[in-house]
Structure 1
Amino acid sequence: MNKLQVSIVIVCMNNLKNLYPCLNSIRKYTTVSYETLVVAYMFSKENLEKVKQDFPWVTFIESREIRGFSENNNLALRQARGRYCFVVNDDTYMDMPVIDELVSTFEKLTGRVAIVSPNIKYPDGRPQYCGRNKATFWTFLASSVGIRHKDSQYKEKAGVFKTFNVMGAAFLIRTNVFKSVGWFDEYYFFCPEDIALSTTLIKLGYTCFVNGDVTLYHIQGGSSLSLMQTATEPAHVKGSISFYSGKSVFKKYVLATCYIVRSLVRALIWQLIYYIKKREKAKIKYCVYMNVIAGLLSSKSPKELFIKYYMRIKGGE
C-alpha cells in the first residue's frame, strides 16, 4: 500500500512572487503525507538557488526548453509517487487545509471517482469556479460569437456534488487513473488541457466531484496585458478549435471561420484606436488578433505557433 498520500505538482515560470505564498500556505495547512514537485520553468540561476535554499522540502525540476502547461506538468507527474496528485497553479493559496479536506472527501465517495476539486475563488472572495458544465462544440461556438457560457448551476454551490469539467488551476486526481490516460494531452499548449482531461475521463466511465465547502484562492488575470499574449493567444485558440471540433472537418471550418471574422473585426477596431490615441495596449491587441488569424490559416500546431510568435518577441527585444 502506498503510504505517500499526495504528490503536489506546481509549474512556476520564474515568478517567486506567486510561488512563495503558494508553498507557504501548503506547508502551513497540509498534514496528510505529501511530496511537493515544482517545475522551475525558465528560472534564473539566482532564483533557482534562492528557492532551493528557502524550501529544502520541495523537489525542483528544471525546465529550460519551451514547453506549455501540459508538457511542464507532465515532467513532474511522471515522477509522482503519491496515491493522489494535486495539480495546482502557482498563483494560488489556501487559508484552510484544502488538500486534507479533498483527500477526506475522496475517501468518503464511492464508485469510479477520478477527481475532486475545491471551490476556487478570487482573493476578494468572489466566485471563480465551483465546478463546470459540459463544454461542447455548441457552447464554444456560442462563445466565439460573443455569447458567454455560464456555469450557473454550480455558482456558490455548497457541499459535495458531481460536476463535469474541472478547472486546471486546482484539482485532486487519482494518480493511477491520471497515468492510465497518459497524463495531460501535450498537444494543448495553452488550454483546454483541463477540459480535455475531464471529458476523456467521463467518456471512460469515471466521475468528477467538487467540494463546495473547501475554498482555494486563485489570483487569475492578475497580470497586465503583455506582448506574450501575441504568442499565447494563437496557441490557445488553435488548441481549443482542435478540441471542440474533434475529428469533424466541417466543425473545424465553422469554428475557424467564426474566430477569423471575430478576430479581424477586433483587430481593425484596435488598429483604429492605436492610430487615434497611440496607445501601446492597442498595438499589442492588434497583433494578438492578427496572429490568431494567421495561426488559424496555417497548419502549425499550438506549440509551433507559440514558438513562432515567441521568437518574434525575443527578436524584437
Structure 2
Amino acid sequence: MNKELSIIVSFDNKYPLMNNFIEHLLKVTFEIDHEIILVSDGCNDFQTLSYIEQREKEVDNLFLYKLKEKKGYSIANNVGVKKSKGKYLLFINTDVFPQRGSIELLLNCLKKHHEIGAVQGLLLYPQNMRVQSTGHVFSDYMNHHLYNGRHSTEICVKTSAKRQALTTAFCMIPKEIFTSIGPFNEFYYNAYDGMELTLNINLNGYKCYYLAETIAFHSTGGTRKFVEYNNEYQSKYFYSHLGLKVKNDLVHYLKEQINSIPIKNNYFVINCSFANQWHTILKLLNIPYSNFCDIDDKNTNCIDLYHNLTYLFLTDSTPLLFIVDHFNHLSQNMNWFQIRNNPDDIIIDYHGNCIRPYYWFIK
C-alpha cells in the first residue's frame, strides 16, 4: 500500500543515540501517512539491533532492513529508497531531532511548490542553539555549511531562500525526482553524497530550497562516525566531476550582509585564513582597504590576537577587517575586542558569515 511519505534512515549507532532518535521521531511524525525505513549499514551493536527489532514488532509502519557489511551512506540510503512506498522521501540522520510540525512543513512546501526538487530545514546545534546548516555555500574548490555558527534569530538565518545544494541530514525530495535524477552516487562512502545529489537536482532545473521555519537539532558526529574514511579522495572526485558546474556563491552571501551595514573607507585587513583567494573576494565585494597583513597562527581553531598583533592595533582607529576560515576561531578574544572597542570592525569567513565583533563578542 502506497504512503505519502517514506522516512529513510541509514544507521550504525550505539543504543543510546538510536533509542533517542527513534522515540523522538515516533512522536513527531504521527500526523502524516508515512513509513519509517531503517537500513542497518552493517551495524553489529547487539543492543541497538535488539531494540529496533522489538520496535518493529510494536510499530506497524516501521521496517528494518540489514546490510551484512558496512557499505556507506549512499548504498544504505539507496537500499532504503528501493524498499520505500512513499510519494515523498525524507532523508534524516540519526543524530537529527526535528521539532514537532517540521516534517509537515517540508512536505507542504513540496506539495505547494512543484518547482522545488529538494528542501531542507534549519539545523541547529542543540548544545548552543546556533546554526549548524542552512544549506551549502561554495568557494574555489571548497564547500561549507552556510551561516554556520550564527544565532538562529538573525535575519539571514530566518530568511528562506534558494541554495545551490543542501545537506541530506534532514532533507525531503519527491520520489519521482529522486528516481529520475538520483540515486545517491555509490562512489561516495560517507561524504559529498547528499550534496552531489541535491546539486544535480538543481542543475536539472529544479530548485533546492532552505525552509527557515522548519527546525531540527543536529547533534553532529553521532551518525557518520567514519566520515574521515577516504574523505580527501571523495572531495577530489566531487570537484573533478562537478567542479566546473559549481558556482562560487560565497561573494553573493557576503554581499547581501555587507550591503546592510555601514562600510568604512580604507580598512586594514588582517588575514587569518589559509587560502589565497581573498584579494579577489575583497575586490568583488567592493571593500576598500589600504593594508593587508598575514598573521602567523593560521589554520588554528583558536587564534590569540595578543600573540599575533602589536599594541598599535588595539589603539588605532582605522577599521579592521578580519578574514578567517570561521569567525569562531576569533571567539576567544573578547578582552582584546573590548579594549579595541571599535564598532566598525568586520569579520568575514568561508561559511558566508559577515559579523561585527563589537556586537557579536561584546554587546
How high is the TM-score relative to the length of structure 2?
A: 0.59
**In the aligned structure 1, how far is the partner of 2:90 from the partner of 2:236?**
28
Give the equivalent residue in structure 2 for 1:201. 201
The amino acid of 1:17's aligned partner reads P
Give the equivalent residue in structure 1 for 2:121. 118
**In the aligned structure 1, how far is the partner of 2:109 from the partner of 2:117?**
12
Give the equivalent residue in structure 2 for 1:233. 228
The amino acid of 2:123's aligned partner reads I
**In the aligned structure 2, how far is the partner of 1:152 from the partner of 1:61?**
36
Larger radius of gyration between Structure 1 and Structure 2: 2
Pick from 60, 73, 83 the counterpart of residue 69 of structure 1: 73
Matches within 5 A, 1:38-187: 38-41=38-41, 42-55=43-56, 56-57=58-59, 58-110=62-114, 112-124=115-127, 125-133=129-137, 135=138, 138-140=140-142, 151-152=146-147, 156=152, 157-187=157-187
Root mean square deviation, CA, Å: 2.9
Matches within 5 A, 1:213-228: 213-221=213-221
Question: Is the 1:84–1:173 contact (alpha carbons within 8 Å) kept by the matching residues of 2?
Answer: yes
Give the equivalent residue in structure 2 for 1:12. 11
Q: What is the SS of the residue equivalent to 1:191?
A: coil
Cα pair distance change 1:210/1:216, threshold 3 Å: same
Give the CA deviation at 1:215.
0.5
**In the aligned structure 2, how far is the partner of 1:52 from the partner of 1:82?**
22
Give the CA deviation at 1:21.
1.8
Deviations 1:242-274 (A, max 9, x none): 1112289xxxxxxxxx9xxxxxxxxxxxxxxxx
1:246 aligns with 2:246: no
Give the CA deviation at 1:153.
10
The amino acid of 1:170's aligned partner reads F
Q: What is the SS of the residue equivalent to 1:118?
A: strand
Gaps of 5+ in 2: 244-273, 275-363
**In the aligned structure 1, how far is the partner of 2:196 from the partner of 2:120?**
16
The amino acid of 2:213's aligned partner reads D
**In the aligned structure 2, how far is the partner of 1:40 from the partner of 1:69?**
10
**In the aligned structure 2, how far is the partner of 1:116 from the partner of 1:192?**
17
**In the aligned structure 1, how far is the partner of 2:179 from the partner of 2:21?**
25
**In the aligned structure 2, how far is the partner of 1:28 from the partner of 1:130?**
24
**In the aligned structure 2, how far is the partner of 1:234 from the partner of 1:59?**
28
Q: What is the SS of the residue equivalent to 1:179?
A: helix
Q: Size of the alignment, in residue pairs? A: 235
How high is the TM-score relative to the length of structure 1?
A: 0.67
Give the CA deviation at 1:95.
2.9
Question: Is the 1:11–1:73 contact (alpha carbons within 8 Å) kept by the matching residues of 2?
Answer: yes
Give the CA deviation at 1:160.
3.3
Gaps of 5+ in 1: 144-148, 249-257, 259-317
Q: What is the SS of the residue equivalent to 1:59?
A: strand
Give the equivalent residue in structure 1 for 2:361. none
Q: What is the SS of the residue equivalent to 1:106?
A: helix
Higher relative contact order (CA 8 A, sep 6+): 1
**In the aligned structure 2, how far is the partner of 1:67 from the partner of 1:87?**
17
Give the equivalent residue in structure 2 for 1:192. 192
Question: Is the 2:182–2:197 contact (alpha carbons within 8 Å) kept by the matching residues of 1?
Answer: no
